[in-house]
């Protein structure tokens, strides 16, 4: 029997005869079901977050691995972690079958080689302390399945994100996250609902892990890297809100902190020098909340 992600959707069987507005209404109606599907697997997502945090806290890293749309989503989520949470690019990494070329053009044949996944992981230095999240709509992609089997052999944490609960990947994983999104609007085009579900789950995994690691203060991006004009403006706005400062004073403190928002917040809230703020942050794994709480 075909995986549910490969089956034809009876609700959209005549979509090729529809007008543009009818097409987008059908797509939107199907998309509305995705969040409900994800809501049914939140316990598994939370368990994965806790397990990932345990690995990261012990010096491990988080690797996403997949092919096609799934692989691109993993690379996207990994690439967003350094500017958002101030972590090293090594902390969260994406591995995609076919390498760099697969990010901007189809290299779908790369998904057929399970042995290549192990070679790619070895090249990236994946080890026993790390967490590996395999991403595949069907859960049976040879490359991604090979990645999870290799990760299991070397003692890494193994998480599967798939839309097929009975998949081979789900059976290999320490933790399986498998929302059932049903047949796609276009049969087999898993970049649609399955891709949306995967994106939602990856958002939760990385954001939840970084929050649990203390890299968010309240609901503010306290650890963002102010690496361009937009982010420097955002950092000043966050500092002004968090420390109840006027815009000019927030800008001055940010400059004194060398545009390191973490340092600026601790300087402003604790009324300490830059050197003391940096010392406090280093002592508390660069968590603004924990650095400030240590003074109470």
Q: Quick one: which of 233, 275, 269 has its CA closest to 257?
A: 275
CB 259 within 8 A of CB 232: yes
Q: Which residues pair with 133 in a beta bridge?
A: 64, 159
DSSP 11: G
- What stretches of 107-228 show up as alpha helix (H) in DSSP? 114-124, 142-154, 168-172, 193-212
Structure tokens at 165: 């609960």
Q: Whole-angstrom distance between the N-terminal and C-terminal Cα of the chain?
A: 61
Which phi-psi region, left, alpha or beta, contains residue 98 (left: φ > 0; alpha: ψ -120 to 50)?
Answer: left
> Which residue of the set 30, 111, 172, 184 is catalytic?
111
Measure the CA–CA gap between 23 and 4, rounded to whole angstroms: 21
Q: CA triplet 166, 171, 175: central angle to 5 degrees?
A: 105
In the annotation, is 108 catalytic? no
Q: Quick one: which of 194, 235, 206, 221 has its CA closest to 80?
A: 206
Measure the CA–CA gap between 208 and 204, rounded to whole angstroms: 5
Q: Which helix (H) or strand (E) holds 135?
A: strand 131-135
> Which residue of the set 80, 249, 256, 276 is catalytic?
80
Catalytic residues: 80, 111
């Amino acid at each position: 029997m075909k995986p549910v992600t490969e089956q034809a959707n009876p609700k959209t069987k005549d979509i090729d005869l529809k007008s543009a507005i009818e097409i987008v209404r059908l797509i939107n109606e199907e998309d509305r079901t995705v969040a409900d599907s994800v809501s049914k697997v939140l316990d598994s997502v939370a368990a994965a977050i806790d397990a990932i945090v345990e690995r990261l806290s012990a010096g491990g890293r988080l690797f996403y691995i997949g092919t096609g749309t799934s692989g691109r989503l993993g690379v996207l989520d990994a690439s967003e972690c350094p500017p958002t949470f101030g972590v090293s690019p090594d902390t969260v990494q994406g591995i995609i079958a076919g390498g760099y070329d697969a990010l901007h053009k189809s290299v779908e044949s790369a998904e057929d080689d399970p042995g290549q996944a192990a070679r790619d992981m070895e090249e990236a230095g994946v080890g026993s302390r790390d967490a590996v999240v395999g991403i595949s709509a069907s859960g049976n992609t040879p490359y991604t399945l090979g990645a999870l089997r290799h990760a299991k052999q070397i003692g890494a944490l193994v998480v599967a994100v798939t839309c097929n609960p009975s998949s081979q990947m789900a059976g290999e994983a320490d933790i399986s996250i498998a929302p059932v999104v049903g047949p796609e609007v276009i049969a087999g085009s898993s970049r649609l609902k399955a891709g949306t579900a995967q994106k939602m789950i990856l958002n939760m995994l990385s954001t939840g892990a970084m929050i649990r690691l203390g890299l968010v203060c309240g609901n503010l991006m306290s650890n963002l890297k102010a690496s361009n004009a937009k982010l420097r403006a955002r950092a000043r706005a966050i500092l002004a809100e968090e420390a109840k400062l006027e815009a000019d004073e927030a800008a001055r403190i940010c400059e004194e902190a060398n545009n390191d928002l973490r340092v600026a917040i601790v300087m402003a809230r604790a009324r300490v020098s830059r050197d003391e703020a940096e010392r406090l942050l280093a002592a508390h794994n660069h968590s603004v909340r924990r650095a400030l709480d240590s003074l109470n």
